[in-house]
Amino acid sequence: MNKEIPASSNRAVEARGLEKTYGEQYALRGIDLTVDRGGCLVVFGPNGAGKTTLLKILSTLVKPSAGSVWLDGIDIREKPSQIRRKISLVSHQTFLYDNLTVFENLKFYGKMYDVADLDKRIREVISWVRLESRLHDRAGTLSHGLQQRASIARAVLHNPSILFLDEPDIGLDPHASKITGDIIDGAGSDKRTVVMTTHNLERGLELADSIVILDRGKVVYEASRSELSGEDFRKIYDRYTVTGG
Amino acid sequence: MNRAFLKIITVFWKDMLTELRTREIIISVLVFALLVLVIFSFAFSIATDMTETVAPGILWVALTFGGVIGLNRIFAVEKENACLEGLMLCPVDRAVIYWGKMAGGFTFMLAVAVVVTPVFLALFNLPIFLPRLALVIVLALVGFASVGTLFSALAVNTRARDIMLPILFLPVVVPVIVSAVKATGPVLVGGPWGDMLTWLQIMIAFDIIYLVVATLVFEFVVEE
């Protein structure tokens, strides 16, 4: 199989035949998906559908049992470090050290990513998430919502071109959710490519360019956002998922 | 300066800062190690001719079992908020993470040894200034930290990690513990270098083996 996708390709994310098994249990079964540069793919599905596993594979945290992933045309198995510079993951876990301040956390991650002019960049991203007044507070003393904002600042610190978001809106107030939307739209940079999972159908449709529904590890439905209305999609979602969310 | 080395320092700095804030590792290990020394100092009234055979064992029981407590915490801090995943997303070789964590573990254990050893020497009426003992301690702690960091990463994802680490760690570091005990005896009684040389060589050899093997296999331990 080809390791590289032609450089002219407009695809930022491409997965073919992705499978993941844990023992006898299938978490993913033959997932194929593509996202064009600057596009936003929203993955819906009930609990246990395989959404988080899919994002962990795409973000190089977990190796697939079968299948391949190319990010910006590069096979993630071939050059994982190079790929990791281009991507970021926002999960429901914040990846922040509770006993370090927000600034120290960002400084740590910034150094790991070789971010140039780091102090200036930290102040820039912290202003996007409106956390300036809490910059020198320990991360563990922040509320979940504020920690999630700090986590978003961490995720965009190195200006990734591809952003993976695993239910980023959990625990966020509408104001903070809007900040997430702004970040997805590429605050301070070109529009990012986004792959996002969510249970929130309205919110997901609002942000999506294309959608897929996962159920029991399989893609059971996929469509372009322009083909759907919100009401139709609710019916489709209920029809294609076992539990209806 | 080499870019990988800077990243190792960054991971090390982060661990130092976290430990300075919490003092979780140093305090727990220190209390345990000092308690062991005090109990043994009451249990044994060591005659001078027994110093070489008994005292080294007491010191190394305190440092080894205290070390296990500390090593358990090295990766536990990365479990909070799934920080290990954040670390794994960073564009660095897995060996960089291993060496940064290992340097932190070594430093914590060395800090404990710096406090515990003079107390041990004082409790057993031994001379306080023993530079050769410092060499033995450094070589043994490099071995402990190299293996301990690897197994700490392995144990952190298991349910019974507090039990798992000593079960994995202690059998593997037996050569280093035995060598450290054997090399400490001649130091305490002012014996010649020749009596400890073989044991120092064994420790150096095991340190190198542990460091090389752990660096190579760490990637497989932390990924899934």
Q: A213: which strand partners? A: A44, A221
Q: Check whether A113 has a pLDDT greater than 60.
A: yes
Reported as a pLDDT band with limits 50, 70 and 90, residue B46 is: low
Report pLDDT for B2: 85
With cut-offs at 50, 70 and 90, classify the pLDDT of residue A2. Answer: very low
Element (H, E) at A56: helix A51-58
DSSP string, chain B: --HHHHHHHHHHHHHHHHHHHH-HHHHHHHHHHHHHHHHHHHH----GGGHHHHHHHHHHHHHHHHHHHHHHHHHHHHHGGGHHHHHHHSSS-HHHHHHHHHHHHHHHHHHHHHHHHHHHHHHTT--S--HHHHHHHHHHHHHHHHHHHHHHHHHTTSTTHHHHHHHHHHHHHHHHHHHHHHHHHHHHTT--HHHHHHHHHHHHHHHHHHHHHHHHHHHHHH--
- 3 state SS of A57: helix
Please state which CATH number belongs to domain A11-240: 3.40.50.300
pLDDT reported for residue A60: 93
- Amino acid identity at A236: I
Measure in Å the smallest separation between the Cα of A212 and chain B Cα atoms.
25
* Interface touch A109/B90, C-beta < 8 Å: yes
Mean pLDDT of chain A: 88
Q: For position A8, what pLDDT does the model report?
A: 46
What's the confidence (pLDDT) of residue B101?
Answer: 96
Tokens of B172: 């593997």
User: Looking at the predicted structure, is the pLDDT value of residue A135 above 90?
Assistant: yes
**Does residue A81 register a pLDDT over 80?**
yes
Cα(A95)–Cα(B81) distance, integer angstroms: 5
Residue B210 pLDDT: 96
Question: For residue B158, what are its two tokens?
Answer: 């298991």
Query: What confidence score (pLDDT) does residue A244 get?
Result: 45
Tokens 């997901």 locate to A204
Mean pLDDT (whole number) for A36-51: 92
| Beta carbons within 10 angstroms of residue A42's beta carbon | 24
- pLDDT band with cut points at 50, 70 and 90 for residue B130: confident
Higher-pLDDT residue of B224 and B155 is B155
**Residue A164: partners with Cβ closer than 8 Å, 6 or more residues away:** A55, A58, A59, A87, A88, A89, A90, A194, A195, A196
> Strand A162-166 to strand A87-90: parallel, antiparallel, or no bridges (unpaired)?
parallel
Q: B83 pLDDT exceeds 90?
A: yes
Closest Cα in chain B to A87: B89
Does residue A182 surpass a pLDDT of 80?
no
Least CA distance to A58: which residue of chain B? B89
CB A19 within 8 A of CB A65: yes
Report d(CA B224, CA B221) in Å as an integer: 7
Mean pLDDT (whole number) for B200-210: 97
Assign B19 a pLDDT band (cuts: 50, 70, 90): very high
How much is the average pLDDT of A160-172? Answer: 87
Contact A76, A67 (CB under 8 A): no
Chain B 103-142, residues with CB within 8 Å of chain A CB atoms: none
Cα A90 to its chain centre, rounded Å, is 6
pLDDT of residue B1: 58
Place A242 in a pLDDT band, splitting at 50, 70 and 90: low
Residue A50, amino acid: G
Question: How far apart are the C-alpha atoms of A81 and B196, rounded to whole Å?
Answer: 45
% of chain B exceeding 70 in pLDDT: 97
The CB density around residue B42, as the number of other CB atoms within 10 Å, is 9
Position A1 scores a pLDDT of: 42
Out of A85, A108, A138, the one facing B10 most closely (by C-beta) is: A108
Find the mean pLDDT for residues B5-13: 96
Tokens of B22: 């919490």
Domain ranges of chain A: 11-240
Q: What angle do CA A58, A63, A66 make, to 5 degrees?
A: 95
Contacts of A113 in chain B (CB under 8 A): 90-91
* pLDDT at res. B80: 87
pLDDT at A201 over 90: no
- How many domains in chain B? 1
Average pLDDT, chain B: 91
| Domain that includes residue B215, residue range | 3-222
Contact B63, B113 (CB under 8 A): yes
Look at residue B149 in the predicted model and tell me its pLDDT. 96
Instruction: Return the residue in A108, A164, A166 with the most chain B beta carbons within 10 A, the one to mutate for interface testing.
Output: A108
Assess whether pLDDT exceeds 50 at residue A245.
no
With 0.95 as the threshold, say if the pTM is over it: no
Does ipTM top 0.85? yes
